[in-house]
Amino acid sequence: MLFPLLRFRPHTGRALTFLIVLLTLLARPQARALQGLTGVHDPSTIVKEGNKYWVFATGQGIYSMYSTDLVNWTPGPRAVFVNNAYPSWINTKVPGFTGNFWAPECVFRNGKYYLYYSCSTFGSKVSAIGLATNVTLDPTSPNYRWEDQGEVVSSTSSSAANAIDPAVFQDSNGDVWLTYGSFFGGLRSTQLHATTGKPLGTTTYALANGDVEAACLTKQGAFYYLFINRGACCNGLNSTYHIRVGRSSSVTGPFVDQSGVDLNSNGGTLVLGSGGRYIGPGHAGIFTEGGVSYFSHHYYDGDDNGAPKLSLARLTWSAAGWPVVSRDWVTAGRYEIKNQNSNLIWDAWGCTGASGQMIAQGTPAGLDCQRWDFTALGNGEYKITNALGGLAADVAGCSAVAGAKLQLFAYSGANCQRFRIDRANDGTLVLASANGNRVVEVPNAATTAGQQLGLWDYNGCACQHWSLTAVGGTLATAGSQQLSGVSLYPVPAPRSGFTIALATTEAGPTRVSVADVAGRILYQGEFGAQQQRLTVAAALPAGLYVVRVERGGRTATQKVMVQ
């Protein structure tokens, strides 16, 4: 099964909308931002076993997907309940149920995985939450076997709350809590037995009311935080789902928003709403590893006819102790961009900042043409411009094909000049072109300087992973502080030297320096203010060099090959 079967929320519209969204999902399997097959609805909190990260989701028999790097996602090899062989007790509690499980949640405790799942039918409050356990999530293990533990909670047409959308939270003192419910009666919580995973008693607490569902409970510092969804789910591009939050000093509430309004009185501070291609975000989960918190959720892709997909945003906390969720993994600023395979960095090859100049990997030398300004465009997209002249990283010809090359070009806002950035589990970054979602790589995993960067399908190669090092300097704008009218000849240059021709109105003397690719200065010279043709008799051995020309407070940098 490649994709989960979506559920239809009875308060959101007509069944026709559900069918349209489902057919769109099945017909349009391509991913965006994250890589692989990311189609999903109501994702569980991420849970890790070994080197794999797992998500369970709405689907026939309970759908799953996994990743080894939090970037590329693959459907699980089979459903939890294979061939629709789900437990017989479910139809006793929920007549008419046909195996399409909703919004599962998975947690690891006591040496095994507890998988909570919802059973319901469209437009009904007759529902149940069940529990299955397994000692491993690896389907290839001889110990892999889901054992159903039966009902956890259930609801009837006269119940106070609807038994769907389970969320499980373990407090710092070891207490375990189940939060569940929907717009049919709001959200409730009850304490669970830490070993059996079943309720300790019949006491429940009302946490939120109104058009609410998809709870996620967590603790940060002295407060408990309840993330909820409000709005209309499951309408594709017309979904109004959005995620809000309230907090409390007690795990049982009351939960209030930043304005002091109780979630039981339709309160909730907005955490994540629709923006750009991300429509109707919902069903939050929080996974923290290495001090970094990922905020998982589904959304309807505005660039893909509303197909539901997985997204991992960044969760941080404000000074006032409120959650901040953003898809922007990089703070705006100036950086060197290093490849994880070659340890070489992005380099506007030729170092002139001219339009059409290729972007290659080069040996770090502290040059402006090796420094890049990141400007956040929102929703995880960035404009990347070169510090030498301010031209943008651009996919040549605005091509989306595998093998398309990167170059400098004037920024126009085109998709081929915008890059989506995802954070991998090891802290490296994956940069995907907004025009087609192929990622930036060093072709053929080359380790030599001068290899032009290009696009390719994501395969997890270290040549597709990058790290950023912040460097000083004011962000460049096109033409800022660049000395124009500088040319160098002959190219390639002989060992005896070369000539620099100036066609500039800048006043003052001209200073010229020549460095090798390791940054060692091998030549320095100063020429008079009236000189327009400069002879550089550097007596250089064969190799690649960087020539820096300064005049009137402006600088031009160019690479030259000496033979």
Catalytic site residues? 42, 213
| Cβ-Cβ contacts under 8 Å for 458 (sequence gap 6 or more) | 35, 36, 71, 72, 430, 432, 438, 439, 464
Q: HEC profile for 439-497?
A: EEECHHHCCCCCCECEEECCCCCHHHCEEEEECCCCCCCCCCCECCCEEEECCCECCCC
Q: HEC profile for 227-280?
A: EEEECCCCCHHHCCCEEEEEEECCCCCCCECCCCCEHHHCCCEEEECCECCEEE
| Cβ-Cβ contacts under 8 Å for 9 (sequence gap 6 or more) | 213, 232, 233, 234
Residue entry with tokens 């889901």? 146
Q: Position 341: which residue type?
A: N
From residue 446, how far is each of 343, 362, 403, 452 by CA, in Å? 11, 11, 14, 10
Rounded to whole angstroms, the Cα distance separating 29 from 120 reads 27
Rounded to whole angstroms, the Cα distance separating 170 from 176 reads 4
Task: Provide the H-helix boundaries in 10-146.
Answer: 15-27, 89-93
Query: Greatest CA separation found in the chain?
Result: 96
From residue 227, how far is each of 104, 120, 468 by CA, in Å? 16, 23, 32
Rounded to whole angstroms, the Cα distance separating 299 from 303 reads 11
From the number of C-beta atoms within 10 Å of its C-beta (0-12, 13-18, 19+), residue 196 rates as middle
In 79-230, the DSSP E strands lie at 100-109, 112-119, 127-134, 147-155, 167-170, 176-182, 186-192, 205-208, 212-220, 223-230
CB contact at 8 A, 365 and 519 = yes
Rounded to whole angstroms, the Cα distance separating 18 from 454 reads 39
Rounded to whole angstroms, the Cα distance separating 162 from 414 reads 46
| Cβ-Cβ contacts under 8 Å for 290 (sequence gap 6 or more) | 427
Closest CA to 32 of 274, 378, 380, 406: 380
From residue 414, how far is each of 359, 382, 435 by CA, in Å? 18, 12, 8
Tokens, residue 107: 């947690």
